[in-house]
Structure formats: structure tokens, C-alpha cells
Amino acid sequence: MTAHGTPRERPAAGAARAAVILAGVKTEDVKPEDADTVLFHTDGRTGVVTLNRPRALNALTHPMVIRIDETLAAWASDPAVQQVLIRGAGERGLCAGGDIRAIHDDAKAGNTASAGFWRDEYRLNARIARYPKPYVALMDGITMGGGVGVSAHGSVRVVTERSRVAMPETGIGFVPDVGGTYLLGRAPGHLGTHLALTGTAVGAADALLCGLADHFVPAERLPELAAALAGAPAHEVLPRYAGTPGPGELADRRGWIDRCYAADTVEEIVERLLGQGEPAAKEAAETILAKSPTALKVTLAALRRAAELGPLERVLAQEFRVSCNGLTAPDLVEGIRAQVVDKDRTPRWSPATLAEVTDADVERFFAPLGEDRELRLPPPDGLSRG
């Protein structure tokens, strides 16, 4: 809406089609409903982004990513927009991640559309992290994978009692991306390694503990919060709504988590977990052993390397390499097949055990893509200007 009107969602279909063409997506492949999958309006001083695929848990598609990035770029230089709010339609969650069925079909066919999607998605993640205005993310309900990417890099991250925040990629033969290895690598102690390998979803208290969120607001107060943001800056509004979440689980488990996940290899992590004599540690070991052995070893390596890379942009460039190289590995297609397509929940990983995954198998994921295929991101100062 305008600053004086009633909030109105605007698909902006023409701009979306133009952005899709620039991204290399064929115009004939753009469906009419793409215009409605993400909505934009201004409410007073706030630009509002609404992910609008509630039946698909607001999963991100390539056109959605392009339109969000294009709109954020425009709002960054618009003096009428003083802050941004992102939310999900429906009551189930902000965003469950990317459209992994599309990634499955692309990888199975040996195509490269997923690489194009990731390139634009990671650029969007970097823009959000360097956004020059307050970026308020309502991480209510399910916020996983790509949903973490469009929220947890923001400057004001709000969770509720319904929040379930996770990077569950190892369960589909993939590796945490969208800056997930950057975020988890900076969690206290080895909490991030625990979350990355197990794919565990955490609630509000644990998301705050791990640095994935900043504020807790009861879900029933989110409409009031959003309305208040129309007339005042986030830093003035939030103290009126923020509270203290119920107890989490990870703080009491820090002792064994830090001891076990400090190990150099996934095999040793599992061995330490099984030797703790703690039911929760044993459960974590069993959870890890059900994941893709290759994805587990690559994830651990990616986390450890991310800690040495510095800025988010360098970590995203590493994640882009890992993701693109993973397209040709068998576990990604198999994991999505088992969990999402056939839903038999019995993936046949290749290799099938941790012991069979060699150092060379892991290094292949970090191999250069070639000068013309690498992810090139502007330096942080360039991104901060939108």
C-alpha cells in the first residue's frame, strides 16, 4: 500500500517476469501463479514480504527468490521504506526450505537449473545479511533450510513458542547451505555441529541460545507487532512485545555435546556419543547413523572450514561449490526420493557406511567449479548499499 492507504498485497507480475528472464529462466516456463507465491506491500514505514505458498509450507521457488531480491534492492534505496518485515502465509511456518522436488528432478535428469537457483538464493542471503535497514524476520512455526536463509541472516529475528528451526539437509543426502554452515559454525561450543549433523529442529529458547534468533514473542501477539511496526522502528516496538520463552533442551546438554562433537571425525563423534551413558546422546548417535554418511562427513568438513573462512560471502561461495558438486552425487536424489517422493523413509545411501566414505570422496565436494561457474559475490560494503 502507500503510506496513507490500506495495506494491499501486490503481485507485481510484470516485474517478476522481467526478473525471471534476467535470471535465465525461460519465459514460457513462468506460471501465472508465480505472481502470487510471494506478495509485497508497504504498511506505513515498513516494507512487508509475505511468502505465500501455505500448502507447500511456503517453500521457495526460483521466481520467488528473484522477486524478493529485486524488491529488497529497490526498498534499500527508497526513503519511504525504513525497515523490512518478512513473514509466512498461514499458521504452519515461515518457510520449510527450497522446493526439493524440483531439485530432485533436476539432479536426476543431469540438468543444472538447481545451480542457477542456488546462485540467486545465496546472493539473496548475502543481501539480507548486509541489508542497510532493519530486517525483521518472523520465524514462527517451521523455519528450515532456505527458510533459515531468508530469516536468520536478518538483523531482527523473532521466534515464537511454535518455532521449529532446523538445517535438516543431511537427512536428504545434502549439506547445510544458505549460509547455514556460517551460522551453525558460530553457535556456542559445538552446538552447531550437533544441529548440523543430526538435523535436529529446535524451539525458541534453543534458537536464541544458538544465535539463530534474537527475540521471543508469543505467536498470538505477532499481528499486534506487525501493526506496530507500521508506525515505529523495530528497536522501539520490540521491547513492548518480547518476552522469555519456556525452557529449552540444549543448555543442560552442553557438557556432553561439547565433549562429543569436538572429535575430529564423524566416526569418533558417534563413538563418543554412544559412550556417554546419556539417553539423549545415544539418541543423537542413532539419528546421525540414519543420515547420509557422505553428507555427514562433508558437513563436518564444511563447518570446520567455514570457521576459518571469515565473512559470510566466502562461506556462501564454499557452500555453492559443495551444493553444485553434490548434484552429481547419488545421495541427494536418493535422499529426496526416500523422504519426499516415494516417502518410504528407507534411503539406500552410497556408500552405505561412514567407514566407506574416503577423504577423496569428501574433497570432491570442495573441488573448484571452474572460473566461469564459481559464485562471485560483491564485497560486504557493496552489498550493504543494496
Which helix (H) or strand (E) element contains residue 237? helix 234-237
The single residue of 146, 147, 171, 199 carrying the catalytic annotation is: 146
- Return d(Cα 184, Cα 223) in angstroms, integer: 30
The single residue of 34, 43, 140, 169 carrying the catalytic annotation is: 169
Q: Is there a catalytic annotation at residue 252?
A: no
Q: Is there a catalytic annotation at residue 43?
A: no
- Return d(Cα 95, Cα 93) in angstroms, integer: 6
374: DSSP letter: S
- Return d(Cα 97, Cα 100) in angstroms, integer: 8
- Return d(Cα 269, Cα 267) in angstroms, integer: 5
Grid cell, residue 158, equals 523473532
- Return d(Cα 228, Cα 371) in angstroms, integer: 48
- β-bridge partners, 50: 39, 87
Strand, helix or coil for residue 242: coil
The single residue of 93, 97, 98, 179 carrying the catalytic annotation is: 98
- Map grid coordinates 541460545 to a residue: 209
Q: Is there a catalytic annotation at residue 146?
A: yes
CA terminus-to-terminus distance, the chain? 22
Find out whether 332 and 174 touch, Cβ atoms under 8 Å.
yes
SS3 content of the chain, % helix, strand, coil (to 5): 50, 10, 35
The single residue of 106, 120, 177, 319 carrying the catalytic annotation is: 177
User: Is the preceding peptide bond at 351 cis, omega within 30 degrees of 0?
Assistant: yes
135: DSSP letter: E
7: DSSP letter: -
Grid cell, residue 307, equals 570457521
Q: Is there a catalytic annotation at residue 356?
A: no
Q: Which residues lie below 8 Å from residue 372, measured CB to CB, with a gap of 6+?
A: none
- Map grid coordinates 505465500 to a residue: 52
- Return d(Cα 319, Cα 265) in angstroms, integer: 20
Which of these, 183, 189, 128, 123, lies nearest to 303 by C-alpha position? 183
The H helix count followed by the E strand count for the chain is 18, 9
Active site (catalytic) residues: 98, 146, 169, 177
